[in-house]
Amino acid sequence: MSEPRALVIGAGLAGCEAAWQLLRRGIPVTLRDMKPGKKSPAHVSDGFAELVCSNSLRSDRLQNAAGLLKEEMRRLDSLIMRAADRARVPAGGALAVDRELFSGYITEELLGHPGLRFEEGEATELPGANAVIATGPLTSDALSGAIAALPGMKDLHFYDAAAPIVLKDSIDMDKAFLASRYGRGEDDYINCPMDEETYRAFYRALIAAETAPVHGFEESKVFEGCMPVESMARRGEMALAFGPLKPVGLVDPRTGKRPFAVLQLRRDDASDSLYNLVGFQTRLKFPEQKRVFGMIPGLEHAEFARYGVMHRNTFLNAPELLGPDFMVKGSEGLYFAGQITGVEGYIESAASGLCAGVQLALRLRGKAPAAFPGSTAIGSLCRYVSTFNRNYQPMHVSFGLIDPIQEKVRRKEERCLRVSELALAGIEALKPQLA
Ligand SMILES: Cc1cc2nc3c(=O)[nH]c(=O)nc-3n(C[C@H](O)[C@H](O)[C@H](O)COP(=O)(O)OP(=O)(O)OC[C@H]3O[C@@H](n4cnc5c(N)ncnc54)[C@H](O)[C@@H]3O)c2cc1C
């Protein structure tokens, strides 16, 4: 009898992690992606696991649910986490990576694995069984059509925006300063301070600036967690000063004072030449980005390595379609993983790939699905995608999704740490079942 082979469609974060979890359990994998021959409007590189916008995988602290999720994945030998830890660039309490090194490591590990076969080509139909579909928020139109025809499916499209990246040596460091908020980490961020007058002038220019037309775009269809900076500004003159431009935890060394507002730029590559404008995802027209963002002290002559863009975000009505193991209910081993399931963000997408890969491997080994407990970050995502929800929306991991602890702990940080301790114990206890 020939060995069962799994099919993984999509070599993004979720698909790579799913393939890896199958391979490390001895299941041979065919990994298929339409890249490099055909690319979505946001993908530019030929490698696997491309980070299409920010290079940040968010917090790396256990007091934060994104930090907990990453630690759970490390404990389960995640390929994405191995790559991230190797490609890390300084970013305060966050885990940010050099995207080329990150993608390069994953591509080499997978292509070098004797159990993996890579096939280039667009999938246009749904596979029948023993497959993971991880084609992301920009799933090609033909496959989107096939997915939309699944029973109980509503074809949902939302819109997200991506932030621009500028060249470091084009930032005026006579005006900007290096620091991390609250002094966490080294001086990892470039900070552009604004006084009140500059802030208000910038605000007026921003809300009046011309945006690029996006077919089918409506303001109400923007995902809250990825709101374009100009849309957020329209909520009120101080919205940015309390949002992405908040100055708390930062002191301008030239004045010895906290500025009125601060734009932070985070390092985007290991060679320290690219910086992204944190929280400045936008759909302004490119010349408007140069003009309006150039009003920020330090960015007057900034050269843009990449402008911000608006993009479609396709996701399933997962609670109708999927079980907590990410398998299509009633199917013969057809799984979805990644952002297309309605988990939101790089690390959540990779975590769902981990889960789908593990579950398909268990199935192919004739074992029952494993139940990730709701006290873990991974388990909380499994529960989120599979629990009835009238208004199902893309969702980041958060302590709000994870089971609360019974004991009373007054301080929030300590409470979060306690939740993390229990979650990691839950993962350790589950490991023998996942082997
Ligand atoms: C422009 C943009 C900016 C974003 N910014 C951020 C951010 O800053 N931070 C964050 O956490 N998340 C961001 N996201 C969300 C991000 O896409 C996800 O977090 C993550 O990349 C999703 O991983 P994935 O594996 O599900 O999909 P992807 O990483 O998109 O991978 C999907 C893969 O499937 C392939 N594919 C698609 N259709 C087919 C087909 N029919 N046949 C074969 N292959 C196919 C694609 O080529 C791609 O390689 C952004 C998304 C976009 C589009």
pLDDT at 225: 65
Percent of the chain with pLDDT over 70: 95
Residues 10 and 149 in one domain: yes
User: Does residue 380 have a pLDDT over 80?
Assistant: yes
CA 95 remoteness from chain centre: 12
Where residue 210 falls among pLDDT bands split at 50, 70, 90?
Answer: very high
Q: When comparing pLDDT for 116 and 390, which is higher?
A: 116
25: Cβ below 6 Å to ligand 1?
A: no
**Is the distance from the beta carbon of residue 10 to the nearest atom of ligand 1 less than 6 Å?**
yes
Q: How far is CA 35 from CA 44, 141, 426, in A?
A: 9, 15, 37
| pLDDT above 60 (res 1) | no
| 362 has pLDDT over 80 | yes
Average of per-residue pLDDT across 189-210: 97
pLDDT > 90? residue 219: no
**Total of domains in the chain:** 2
Choose one of 16, 31, 103, 138 to mutate for the ligand 1 pocket test, by most ligand atoms within 8 angstroms of C-beta: 138
Cα–Cα distance for residue pair 24/108, rounded to 1 Å: 15
Cα 245 to Cα 242: distance, rounded to the nearest angstrom: 7
Are 347 and 256 within one domain?
Answer: no
- DSSP-derived secondary structure letter, 375: T
Residue 31 within any structural domain of the chain: yes
Give the residue, 41 or 277, on which the prediction is more confident: 277
Whether cis (ω within 30° of 0) applies to the bond prior to 28 is no
Residue 264 CB partners (closer than 8 Å, separation 6+): 181, 189, 190, 191, 192, 278, 279
How confident is the model over 181-194, as a mean pLDDT? 89
In 3D space, the residue among 211, 35, 250 whose CA is nearest the CA of residue 123 turns out to be 35
Could you identify the atom of ligand 1 that is nearest to the CA of residue 50?
Answer: 29
Tell me if 168 CB under 6 Å of ligand 1. no
Residue 222, pLDDT > 90, answer no
Give yes or no for residue 157 having a pLDDT over 70: no
Range of lowest pLDDT (154-158, 170-174, 300-304, 312-316): 154-158
What span, in angstroms and rounded, lies between the C-alpha atoms of 435 and 432? 5
Specify whether 44 is located in the same domain as 67: yes
* Residue 353 clears pLDDT 80, i.e. is over it: yes
82 and 42 in a common domain: yes
The number of the ligand 1 atom at minimal distance from the alpha carbon of 10 is 34
User: Which atom in ligand 1 lies closest to the alpha carbon of residue 49?
Assistant: 29
- Give residue-wise pLDDT tens across range 112-131: 999 999 999 999 999 989 99
223 and 288 inside one domain? yes
Q: How far is the CA of 257 from the centre of ligand 1 (A)?
A: 41
Q: Which two tokens stand for residue 308?
A: 């911000």
When mean pLDDT is compared across 8-12, 221-225, 231-235, the lowest value belongs to: 221-225
Instruction: Give residue 29's domain range.
Output: 6-158+313-434
Chain position carrying tokens 């708390």: 248
Q: How far is the CA of 44 from the centre of ligand 1 (A)?
A: 11
Q: What is the DSSP string of 74-115?
A: HHTT-HHHHHHHHSEE--TTEEEE-HHHHHHHHHHHHHT-TT
Which residue, 308, 339, 369, sits at the end of a domain? 308
Residue % of the chain over a pLDDT of 90: 72
DSSP for 147-181 reads HHTSTT---EEEEEE---EEEGGGS-TTT-EEE-G
- Structural domain contains residue 293: yes
> pLDDT averaged over the chain?
91
pLDDT above 60: residue 218: no
Report whether 265 contacts 189 (CB < 8 A): yes
Contact call for residues 341 and 315 (beta carbons, < 8 A):
yes
pLDDT of residue 309 exceeding 90, the answer is: no
Q: What are phi and psi of 331, to 5 degrees?
A: -85, 175
pTM of the model: 0.79
What b-and-e string marks burial along 284-316, b requiring 16 or more CB atoms within 10 Å of the CB?
A: bbeebbbebbbbbbbbeebebbebbbbbbbbbb
Q: What is the pLDDT of residues 30-62, one digit of tens each?
A: 999 999 999 988 899 999 999 988 899 999 999
- What per-residue confidence (pLDDT) applies to 11? 98
Query: Cβ(267)–Cβ(275) under 8 Å?
Result: yes
70 and 25 belong to one structural domain? yes
Is the CB of residue 52 below 6 angstroms from any atom belonging to ligand 1? yes
Which of 308, 339, 357 delimits the end of a domain? 308
CA of 328 to the centre of ligand 1 (A): 20
For 225-270, what is each residue's pLDDT tens digit? 678 999 999 999 999 999 999 999 999 999 999 999 999 999 877 7
Q: Is the CB of 338 under 6 A from ligand 1?
A: yes
Lowest mean pLDDT among 99-113, 158-172, 216-230, 268-282: 216-230
Closest-lying ligand 1 atom to the alpha carbon of residue 135: 34
Same structural domain for residues 14 and 154?
yes
**Taking each helix axis from N to C terminus, what angle separates 412-434 and 65-75, rounded to the nearest 10 degrees?**
20
Ligand 1 proximity of 283 Cβ (cutoff 6 Å): no
Count the helices and strands in the chain (H runs, E runs): 12, 16
**Cα–Cα distance list, 3 to 31, 110, 333 (Å):** 16, 19, 16
User: Does residue 173 fall inside a structural domain?
Assistant: yes
The verdict on the CB of residue 345 being under 6 Å from ligand 1 is: yes
Listed range (156-160, 345-349, 375-379) with the worst mean pLDDT = 156-160
Task: Supply the CATH number for residue 375's domain.
Answer: 3.50.50.60
Q: Which atom of ligand 1 is nearest to the CA of 309?
A: 1
* pLDDT for the residue 268: 78
User: In the predicted model, what is the mean pLDDT of residues 18-23?
Assistant: 98
Span from the CA of 338 to the centroid of ligand 1 (angstroms):
8
- Ligand 1 pocket test target in 135, 312, 326 with most atoms within 8 Å of CB: 135
Q: How far is CA 265 from CA 98, 262, 309, 376, 390, in A?
A: 15, 10, 17, 32, 38
Higher pLDDT, 1 or 6: 6
> Is the pLDDT confidence value at 204 over 80?
yes
Residue ending a domain, choose from 308, 337, 368: 308
Instruction: List Cα–Cα distances, 251 to 203, 229, 247, 260, in angstroms.
Output: 22, 23, 8, 10
Note the pLDDT of residue 259. 98
d(CA 306, CA 163): 9
Q: Which atom of ligand 1 is nearest to the CA of 140?
A: 38
Establish if 1 belongs to a structural domain.
no
Q: Give residue 224's pLDDT.
A: 64
